[in-house]
Amino acid sequence: AQTVTQSQPEMSVQEAETVTLSCTYDTSESNYYLFWYKQPPSRQMILVIRQEAYKQQNATENRFSVNFQKAAKSFSLKISDSQLGDTAMYFCGGSGANNLFFGTGTRLTVIP
């Protein structure tokens, strides 16, 4: 079974500051992948970053990076130099045998 928990329903950050969104997961899979998706008001689901569980190195994509702690089953997302366009729902997800399980999401607001 796979579960994903996001304990922060809402967060806010000042423009240009850094914010970290938390995510923990549980899985019985030995080989799995972890993702962060962004859903702006347009409702489109956009892949932000992807982590292969067998890689120890944390993934980075421009201003987005993760802190992947496999033993603790933790996968947090750090957004640096926050921009107004980062305002969105952020979903943490983990891939199981055949599909992607999501957490309940964190609503992030970037304040000008």
Partner 1 sequence: DTAVSQTPKYLVTQMGNDKSIKCEQNLGHDTMYWYKQDSKKFLKIMFSYNNKELIINETVPNRFSPKSPDKAHLNLHINSLELGDSAVYFCASSQDRKGTYGYTFGSGTRLTVV
Residues that bind partner 1 (CB under 8 A): 31-33, 35, 37, 39, 42-45, 47, 50, 89, 91, 95, 97-102, 104-105
Considering beta carbons, is residue 12 or 31 the nearer one to partner 1? 31
Helix (H, G, I), strand (E, B) or coil at 84: helix
Tokens describing residue 96: 């199981």
Considering beta carbons, is residue 42 or 57 the nearer one to partner 1? 42
Q: Nearest distance from residue 9's CB to partner 1, in Å?
A: 10
Q: Nearest distance from residue 102's CB to partner 1, in Å?
A: 4
Helix (H, G, I), strand (E, B) or coil at 50: strand
What size, in residues, is the chain? 112
DSSP 58: P
Nearest alpha-carbon partner for 27 in 4, 2, 9 = 2
Q: Nearest distance from residue 47's CB to partner 1, in Å?
A: 5
Phi then psi dihedrals of residue 50, to 5 deg: -135, 140
Considering beta carbons, is residue 37 or 82 the nearer one to partner 1? 37
